[in-house]
């Protein structure tokens, strides 16, 4: 298939039927062959597509020539009359996910905030990239989603991630670059065959093509079929989710149990993705079904993986971030005049004077101390006749066990007078009063 500016515009117009007209094109511009071809083709048709164009270069700082590459990209963009910007990123090499994956994550974290509503982020992945991705995912034991490979269009940040070159091969892009006399960066790391993708690119795919000339096209077709299967599985999961979903981050165990094991795994994968969490491995997912789902109601099992975890409390499963926020250890005076940012993920705390009901102003003026639960606390809530153990109150209120030590407590003169914005102590309340506000708090029920 011959690449031309006209054919590229047709592909973009087809995507606009699903994504709506683009407000702006942001090209992920590495300076390599692929993104150079994409940027050039778009710049040559700017008068026709009439969409603002921005080239964004991500400087990973991983090569000695990284700054020179940034300057090259700036020069190319300026020669084409395209707005240009550079984003510096820090790649986490100690995260255990490998250099390529870490660099990709850093890249998309930098690109996400640049996307405004209606923007399209354009990436220059092509048909050979698709074939490499499908083979890698197959060798890693991926399911239908992995075998669907690289999607041509998907939501990203506040806009869309669009890959308009997936119908073209690397040789198609080289032919366009030769015809237009383009220059580009050759990243030496692309020749390092210790990396799995490079080994497939230089050793395996050429041998497959020599035996099966249509190998890349066939892999692309398989990816499309797998993509259709993913859509059908998601449709089924969306229907099952209506029955099992019990709130923002929790699922009804009784409804899950009524599904077959296959549908349980399918709806769990779907809802974990909907929650914005990484998908767990097949082994971890099966562990959820084998150990968390059938656990006793009073048990507190947990299965975790990189970036996510599933816990059980009573008759619900909870889909949570990989690590709970640490239990704060910050006792000290709290006047409440300003919002106090608690530990990561625990929101903010402040006092609001003039509320219909709250702590007495005299008590607040005498000084408050912020603490967190350590065990043994006792409390008499307003409206109750007897002092109770705080642990028992939290249990009766259905506060999930993993959040009970993370609820801010306010003391006056050594006495517990407020449990966040859940309860006020009977002897400390007044009408009107100073209300305790716990904002942006995590889910506690």
* Residue 381 token pair: 């809530």
Q: Can you state the angle between helices 33-44 and 5-19, rounded to 10 degrees?
A: 90
Q: Are residues 304 and 337 in the same domain?
A: no
Exposed, middle or buried, 44 (CB in 10 Å: 0-12/13-18/19+)?
middle
pLDDT tens per residue across span 1-54: 688 888 999 999 999 999 999 999 999 999 999 999 999 999 999 999 999 999
Q: In sequence order, what E strands does 244-298 have?
A: 250-252
Instruction: Answer whether residue 91 shows pLDDT above 80.
Output: no
* Residue 96 token pair: 């255990």
Of 192, 211, 230, which residue sits at a domain end? 211
Assigned domain for 406 exists: yes
Instruction: Answer whether residue 94 shows pLDDT above 70.
Output: no
Assigned domain for 221 exists: no
Structural domain including 109 reads 5-211
Q: Are residues 103 and 30 in the same domain?
A: yes
pLDDT tens per residue across span 227-244: 889 889 999 999 999 999
Q: Are residues 9 and 144 in the same domain?
A: yes
Q: Are residues 313 and 343 in the same domain?
A: no
User: Domain of 310: which CATH number?
Assistant: 1.20.59.20
Q: Which residues contact 381 (CB under 8 A, 6 or more apart)?
A: 388, 393, 419, 423, 424, 425, 426
Instruction: Answer whether residue 434 shows pLDDT above 80.
Output: yes
Exposed, middle or buried, 94 (CB in 10 Å: 0-12/13-18/19+)?
exposed
Q: Is residue 267 very low, low, confident or very high in pLDDT (cuts 50, 70, 90)? A: very high
pLDDT tens per residue across span 329-339: 666 667 666 66
CA–chain centroid gap for 164, Å, is 23
Q: Which residues contact 93 (CB under 8 A, 6 or more apart)?
A: 99, 102
Assigned domain for 227 exists: no
Instruction: Answer whether residue 429 shows pLDDT above 90.
Output: no
Q: Are residues 62 and 204 in the same domain?
A: yes
* Residue 292 token pair: 């968390």
Q: Are residues 263 and 363 in the same domain?
A: no
Assigned domain for 175 exists: yes
> How much is the pLDDT for 97?
65
Q: Are residues 196 and 262 in the same domain?
A: no
pLDDT tens per residue across span 274-287: 888 888 888 899 99
Instruction: Answer whether residue 96 shows pLDDT above 70.
Output: no
* Residue 262 token pair: 């296959």
pLDDT tens per residue across span 135-183: 988 888 888 888 888 888 888 899 999 999 999 999 999 999 999 999 9
Least confident of 96-100, 359-363, 410-414: 96-100
Give mean pLDDT, residues 372-381: 87
> How much is the pLDDT for 363?
87
Cα–Cα dist 421/27, whole Å: 47
Q: Are residues 317 and 370 in the same domain?
A: no
Assigned domain for 60 exists: yes
Cα–Cα dist 337/368, whole Å: 12
Of 191, 211, 231, which residue sits at a domain end? 211
Assigned domain for 148 exists: yes
Assigned domain for 220 exists: no
Domains of the chain: total: 3
pLDDT tens per residue across span 295-304: 887 778 889 8
User: Domain of 145: which CATH number?
Assistant: 3.40.50.620
Instruction: Answer whether residue 191 shows pLDDT above 90.
Output: no
User: What global pTM score does this model have?
Assistant: 0.71
Q: Are the C-beta atoms of residues 144 and 234 closer than 8 Å to each other? A: no
> How much is the pLDDT for 143?
82
Is the CA virtual torsion 84, 88, 93, 97 positive or negative? negative
> How much is the pLDDT for 337?
63
Q: Are residues 293 and 370 in the same domain?
A: no
Q: Are residues 256 and 353 in the same domain?
A: no
Q: Are residues 293 and 384 in the same domain?
A: no
Give mean pLDDT, residues 410-415: 87
The helix/strand/coil state of 438 is strand
Assigned domain for 433 exists: yes
Of 272, 290, 321, which residue sits at a domain end? 321
Neighbouring C-beta atoms of residue 289, cutoff 10 Å:
17
> How much is the pLDDT for 224?
87
State the DSSP code for 245.
B
Q: Are residues 86 and 31 in the same domain?
A: yes
């Amino acid at each position: 298939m011959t690449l031309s500016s006209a054919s590229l515009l047709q592909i973009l117009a087809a995507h606009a039927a699903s994504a709506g007209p683009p407000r702006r094109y942001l090209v992920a511009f590495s300076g390599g062959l692929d993104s150079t071809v994409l940027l050039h083709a778009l710049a040559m048709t700017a008068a026709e597509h009439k969409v603002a164009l921005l080239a964004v270069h991500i400087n990973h700082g991983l090569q000695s020539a990284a700054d020179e590459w940034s300057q090259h990209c700036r020069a190319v963009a300026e020669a084409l009359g395209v707005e240009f910007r550079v984003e510096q990123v820090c790649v986490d090499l100690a995260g255990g996910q490998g250099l390529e994956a870490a660099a990709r994550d850093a890249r998309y974290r930098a690109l996400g905030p640049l996307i405004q509503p209606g923007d399209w982020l354009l990436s220059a992945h092509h048909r050979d990239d698709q074939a490499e991705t499908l083979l890698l995912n197959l060798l890693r034991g991926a399911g239908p989603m992995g075998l669907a490979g690289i999607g041509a269009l998907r939501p990203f940040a506040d806009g869309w991630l669009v890959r308009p070159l997936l119908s073209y091969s690397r040789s198609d892009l080289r032919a366009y670059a030769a015809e237009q006399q383009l220059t580009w960066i050759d990243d030496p790391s692309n020749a390092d065959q210790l990396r799995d993708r490079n080994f497939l690119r230089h050793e395996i795919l050429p041998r497959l093509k020599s035996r099966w000339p249509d190998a890349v096209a066939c892999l692309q077709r398989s990816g499309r079929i797998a993509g259709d299967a993913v859509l059908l599985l998601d449709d089924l999961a969306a229907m099952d989710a209506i029955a099992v979903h019990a709130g923002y981050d929790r699922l009804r165990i009784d409804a899950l149990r009524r599904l077959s094991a296959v549908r349980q795994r399918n709806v769990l994968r779907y809802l974990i993705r909907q929650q914005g969490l990484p998908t767990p491995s097949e082994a971890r997912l099966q562990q959820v079904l084998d150990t968390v789902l059938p656990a006793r109601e009073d048990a507190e099992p947990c299965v975790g993986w990189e970036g996510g975890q599933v816990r059980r409390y009573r008759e619900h499963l909870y889909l949570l971030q990989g690590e709970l926020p640490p239990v704060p250890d910050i006792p000290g005076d709290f006047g409440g005049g300003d919002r106090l940012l608690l530990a990561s993920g625990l929101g903010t705390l402040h006092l609001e004077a003039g509320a219909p009901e709250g702590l007495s102003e005299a008590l607040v003026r005498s000084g408050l101390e912020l603490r967190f639960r350590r065990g043994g606390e006792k409390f008499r809530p307003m409206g109750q006749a007897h002092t109770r153990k705080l642990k028992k109150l939290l249990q009766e209120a259905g506060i999930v066990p993993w959040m009970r030590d993370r609820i801010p407590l306010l003391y006056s003169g050594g006495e517990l007078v407020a449990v966040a914005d859940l309860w006020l102590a009977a002897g400390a309340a007044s009408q009107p009063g100073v209300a305790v506000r716990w904002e942006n708090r995590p889910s506690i029920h």
